Amino acid sequence: MMAYTDIKQSPWYVVNADNKKRARLNCIRHLLKQIRYKDLTPKPIQLPRRPPDKGYVRPPITKQTFVPDYYD
């Protein structure tokens, strides 16, 4: 399949995956290098001063719904 479909306009890439961690990092880097992008760093902004603290009181834990712990 690769002998017939690997052409200059749409090449196939093979990842050397003897070391899985290195293979994944190399693949990610290669994919990101294929994308053209320009620097989108935002200009610094001036934030207004924070209003004074009015004393937040947390609601009782029994009235809150928590996400279940799947992993320890």
Give me the half-sphere count of Cα atoms (radius 13 Å) on the Cβ side of residue 24.
2
pTM: 0.49
- Domains of the chain, by residue range, sit at 1-38
If 0-12 CB within 10 Å is exposed, 13-18 middle and 19+ buried, where does residue 71 land? exposed
Q: Give tens-digit pLDDT for 13-72.
A: 999 999 999 999 999 999 999 899 899 999 999 999 999 998 988 889 898 888 888 875
Residue partners of 58: CB distance under 8 A and separation at least 6: none
Are the C-beta atoms of 12 and 5 separated by less than 8 Å? yes
